Amino acid sequence: MAQAKKTSKAKKPAQDTKPAQVKKASEVKKVVQKRKTASERKTEIIEATLQLSDEQGPDRLSIEAIAIKVGISQPGVLRHFPKKQDIWEAVANHLISMMSQRWEKILSSDMSPIQQLRALTSAQLGLIQATPAIPAILLSRELQADNKILRNTFFVLMKGFHGHINRLIAEEKSFRKGLDPADATLLIVGTIQSTALRWSISGRSFDLVEKGEHLLKVLLDGFIHPPTK
């Protein structure tokens, strides 16, 4: 009798009174909300690649590290980019798109050539400051030796940038006669690159855009024809 009484006092497990159909619909809704489109996932992978390239260097980057950063499995990364080279090509196209949009907006404006030169320089330095992995990628073994497609892509991009700078210098009437646009272009582009590299090596110890704009002013002042006495 005692045993029977003890058994009768045992707590019954709580029953889920939620209708099965409602519960199932709720679970499906959660899955749908978490699922991302292929385009969104690719963007996440590209952004993770840029972040990791800055944090640990592009040459040490692995599919595993990218997967962990994004929060998916390695097969999940490979589903969108079957090879590591495919990721780098997507990164290059992403950077090209960002740069080209900025350049086009400036070059299609009503600003004078010298104003466009200043704006292009500021835009380029601003992009590097916002995406600090760019110098590391441009100097990486991945670009210099292992990935010819990536190297050629960036070469064409920078060749276009040189062309824009060269044309604007040739069109600016305030520059002194005899100024070689090709030489002046190399000075401006070299200043951008060296300042960005120094900024990166120094641990980003100064404002890249501010320093670049100051150095460009020094160059442009030297390009301008001295006033007539």
Residue 5 reports pLDDT greater than 70 = no
* pLDDT 10s digits, 74-83: 999 999 999 9
Higher pLDDT, 106 or 9: 106
The verdict on residue 26 lying in a domain is no
Burial of 129 (0-12, 13-18, 19+ CB in 10 A): middle
Indicate whether 185 belongs to any domain: yes
Res. 34: pLDDT tops 90: no
pLDDT classification of 4: cutoffs 50, 70, 90? very low
Among 142, 144, 163, residue whose Cα is nearest residue 85: 142
Domain stops at, among 80, 104, 136: 80
Plot region of 213 (φ>0 → left; ψ -120 to 50 → alpha; else → beta): alpha
Same domain flag for 98 and 153: yes
If asked whether residues 49 and 127 sit together in one domain, one would say no
The overall longest dimension of the chain from CA atoms, in Å, is: 122
Q: For 8, what's the count of Cα atoms within 13 Å in the CB-facing half-sphere?
A: 5
Query: Which CATH number do you get for residue 40?
Result: 1.10.10.60
Do 182 and 122 touch, CB atoms closer than 8 A?
A: no
Percentage of residues in the chain with pLDDT exceeding 90? 64
122 shares a domain with 102 = yes
pLDDT at residue 1, as a whole number: 47
Q: Within this chain, do residues 156 and 57 fall inside the same structural domain, yes or no?
A: no
Q: Binning pLDDT at 50, 70 and 90, where does residue 189 land?
A: very high
Burial (CB count <10 Å: 0-12, 13-18, 19+), residue 228: exposed
- Residue 162 counted as domain residue: yes
Q: Do 145 and 213 belong together in one domain?
A: yes
Domain that holds residue 213: 87-223
pTM over cut 0.75: yes
Let me know whether 111 and 217 are in one domain.
yes
**Residue at 7 is within a domain:** no
Q: Which of 50, 80, 110 is the last residue of a domain?
A: 80
Do residues 69 and 105 both lie within one domain? no
User: Is there a domain that residue 214 lies in?
Assistant: yes
75 and 111 housed in the same domain: no
User: What would the mean pLDDT of 32-40 be, rounded to a whole number?
Assistant: 77
Same domain, 202 and 183: yes
Give dist(CA 164, CA 21) in Å, integer.
63
**Average pLDDT score, the chain:** 85
Whether residue 182 sits in one domain with residue 132: yes
User: How many Å apart are CA 117 and CA 114, to the nearest integer?
Assistant: 5
Q: How many domains does the chain have?
A: 2
In angstroms, the CA 120 to CA 72 distance is 38
Q: Residue 106 falls within a domain, yes or no?
A: yes
DSSP string, the chain: -HHHHHHHTSPPPPP--S-HHHHHHHHHHHHHHH---HHHHHHHHHHHHHHHHHHH-GGG--HHHHHHHHTS-HHHHHHH-SSHHHHHHHHHHHHHHHHHHHHHHHHTSS--HHHHHHHHHHHHHHHHHHSTHHHHHHTSHIIIII-HHHHHHHHHHHHHHHHHHHHHHHH-TTBPTT--HHHHHHHHHHHHHHHHHHHHHTTS-S-HHHHHHHHHHHHHHHHBPPPP-
109 and 218 share a domain?
A: yes
- The CATH number that applies at residue 103 is 1.10.357.10
Query: Could you tell me if 92 and 69 lie in one domain?
Result: no
Angle at CA of residue 49, ends 165 and 201, nearest 5°: 60
